[in-house]
């Protein structure tokens, strides 16, 4: 670190990684032996979305399965919109990803000395490598100590990305990323980081919706920052709603894993009737978009607050063995899933679109990369196949680290510090909080599982008003995390709405009452910023 012209400390690293989920952690560990790496997290290290992934990691590891079958299942779930090159690349590197995680000590569930493979909706074979029903936590529990102990990794928790520093903004010529500004919540200051390479691994944007399985950190920070810096985004209209989120007044968006249905769980109406066979021949094993729409339909048809997921017929011992985390969480809320069905509702779960990248994680901006849920590689198409997301994190983060290894880059020695002349007005915090709540509610009402042109127009109108308010706040008041997150949420919401308005068909996760049919050719929705 060196002093800049105004006396603040300029923090210099070979690589800056914003986000500590599986994608960010993988890149950090693979680069740290040869690079000085900074890992930036806006809360604690463990607060990313990866930790909450229950199901597992999709990989062809069993007899009778094949790469071709995994690719076919992914393309089918993606409603014809997956990029075949990206899908093939990621699927074929899946066994290597599992082997690397195993080598790191991740305790995947085994049966008779072999990896136990479960099955989830949309998969034609058992290919989900898992650690009971808490795979994300098991993976992160192994990787986090390594991040903390590695001498070449410096962790900056409670630091939030404010903006990317680019050569265009500094009028240096070219289009490349030079580093970042990060808000230190502990000191209230904005700090300057310089790096040869910057990796965005900030996760998705589930918090744009009122109901989500995502943690509070999922506010689209990397997508918004990349967009502001000049990167294209693609397929932002495709927001996956997980069909089965626990419905309980004291449960904050607790996910009931897809694997519960994969192991025989049945979706029921309050009177005990199954309904999924009426919606799809695959019944409970249909892809998530179909199941979520079916639940939404039945809830509205019958005026229900929730439906029920029943796996009691599998017996107490089976349930406790396969789903210990879910069993204990439900039991703590007075629900014994071995004796009674679980009340569930759909909730926003995964952002299938994001910053456009190639298969090395490279964005439109030189030396800027995006990995994990922040990125759009083309793998997920119009609907993510279950358990392909953690797989993408490891495979693309590995490819990104390999590219950086072979392209050293250089660090700009002097970068301007953030202008901290603004003055805080505490009264505005009330307005910011109100705007946050308003945004999430109208996005849920107007840009949810089922959409119409009129609903999208109403959402866009409210977003325009919020955008103007935020510009005023940002110009006149001191930076806070709430303000930064609201700015990002409004920008990402705008990308979602604009993309949805451009897609005049119903495909995958985007269902429009005004355009219920499919267009003859599947095409991605690409938005380009006007700087």
Contact 77, 382 (CB under 8 A): no
Task: Determine the Cα–Cα distance for residues 197 and 179; give it in Å rounded to an integer.
Answer: 8
Q: Which residues lie below 8 Å from residue 476, measured CB to CB, with a gap of 6+?
A: 422, 425
Q: Which residues lie below 8 Å from residue 460, measured CB to CB, with a gap of 6+?
A: 494, 497, 498, 501
- Helices (H), ranges, 377-517: 389-406, 427-446, 453-476, 481-502
3-state secondary structure at position 37:
strand
- Counted residue by residue, the chain has a size of 531
Paired residues of 355 in beta bridges:
233, 375
3-state secondary structure at position 32:
coil
Task: Determine the Cα–Cα distance for residues 126 and 61; give it in Å rounded to an integer.
Answer: 9
From residue 413, alpha-carbon distances to 55, 111, 153 in Å are 45, 54, 20
| β pairing state of 177-184 and 159-166 | antiparallel
Contact 12, 2 (CB under 8 A): yes
> Phi and psi for 346 in degrees, rounded to 5?
-70, 155
Q: 292: exposed, middle or buried (C-beta count within 10 Å: 0-12, 13-18, 19+)?
A: buried
Paired residues of 200 in beta bridges:
18, 370
3-state secondary structure at position 253:
coil
Instruction: Annotate 378-416 with DSSP letters as a single string.
Output: SSSTTSPPTT-HHHHHHHHHHHHHHHHHH------S--P
Point out the catalytic residue in the list 176, 288, 384, 455: 288
Give catalytic status of residue 504 as yes or no. no
Contact 180, 222 (CB under 8 A): no
> Phi and psi for 137 in degrees, rounded to 5?
-65, -40
Residue located via tokens 């800056």: 16
Look up residue 398 and give its two tokens.
């590995």
Task: Determine the Cα–Cα distance for residues 151 and 250; give it in Å rounded to an integer.
Answer: 41
Task: Determine the Cα–Cα distance for residues 370 and 202; give it in Å rounded to an integer.
Answer: 9
Catalytically annotated residues? 288
């Amino acid at each position: 670190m060196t002093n800049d012209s105004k006396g603040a400390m300029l923090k210099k690293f070979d690589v800056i990684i914003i986000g500590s989920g599986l994608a960010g952690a993988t890149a950090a560990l693979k680069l740290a032996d040869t690079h000085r790496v900074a890992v930036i997290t806006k809360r604690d290290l463990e607060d990313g979305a990866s930790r909450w992934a229950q199901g597992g990691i999709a990989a062809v590891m069993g007899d009778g399965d094949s790469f071709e079958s995994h690719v076919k299942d992914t393309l089918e779930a993606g409603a014809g919109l997956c990029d075949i090159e990206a899908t093939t690349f990621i699927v074929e590197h899946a066994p290597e990803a599992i082997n690397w995680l195993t080598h790191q000590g991740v305790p995947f569930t085994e049966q008779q000395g072999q990896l136990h493979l479960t099955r989830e909706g949309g998969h034609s074979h058992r290919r989900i490598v898992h650690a009971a029903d808490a795979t994300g936590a098991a993976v992160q529990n192994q990787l986090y100590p390594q991040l903390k102990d590695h001498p070449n990794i410096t962790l900056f928790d409670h630091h939030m990305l404010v903006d990317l520093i680019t050569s265009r903004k500094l009028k240096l010529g070219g289009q490349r990323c030079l580093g970042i500004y990060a808000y230190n919540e502990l000191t209230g200051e904005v700090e300057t980081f310089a790096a040869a390479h910057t990796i965005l691994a900030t996760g998705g944007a589930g918090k744009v919706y009122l109901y989500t399985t995502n943690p509070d950190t999922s506010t689209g920070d990397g997508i918004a920052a990349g967009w502001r810096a000049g990167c294209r985004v693609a397929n932002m209209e495709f927001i996956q709603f997980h069909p089965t989120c626990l419905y309980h007044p004291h449960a904050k968006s607790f996910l009931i894993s897809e694997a519960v249905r994969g192991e025989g769980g049945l979706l029921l109406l309050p009177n005990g009737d199954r309904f999924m066979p009426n919606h799809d021949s695959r019944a409970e094993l249909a892809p998530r978009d179909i199941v979520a729409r079916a639940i939404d339909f039945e809830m509205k048809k019958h005026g229900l607050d929730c439906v029920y997921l029943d796996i009691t017929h599998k017996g107490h011992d089976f349930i406790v063995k396969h789903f210990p985390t879910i069993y204990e969480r439900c039991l703590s809320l007075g629900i014994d899933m071995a004796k009674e069905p679980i009340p569930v509702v759909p909730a926003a779960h995964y952002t299938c679109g994001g910053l456009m990248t190639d298969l090395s994680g490279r964005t439109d901006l030189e030396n800027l990369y995006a990995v994990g849920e922040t990125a759009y590689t083309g793998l997920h198409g119009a609907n993510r196949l279950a358990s392909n997301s953690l797989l993408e994190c490891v495979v693309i983060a590995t490819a990104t680290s390999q590219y950086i290894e072979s392209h050293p880059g250089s660090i700009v020695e002097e970068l301007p510090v953030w202008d901290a002349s603004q003055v805080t007005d505490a009264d505005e915090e009330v307005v910011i909080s109100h705007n946050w709540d308003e945004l999430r509610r109208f996005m849920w009402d107007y840009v949810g599982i089922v959409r119409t042109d009129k609903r999208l127009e109403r959402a866009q109108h409210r977003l325009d008003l919020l955008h103007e308010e935020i510009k005023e706040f940002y110009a006149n008041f001191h930076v806070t995390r709430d303000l930064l997150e609201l700015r990002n949420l409004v920008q990402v919401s705008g990308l979602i709405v604009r993309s949805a308005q451009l897609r005049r068909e119903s495909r995958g996760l985007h269902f429009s009452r005004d355009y219920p049919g499919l267009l003859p050719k599947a095409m991605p929705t690409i938005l380009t910023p006007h700087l």
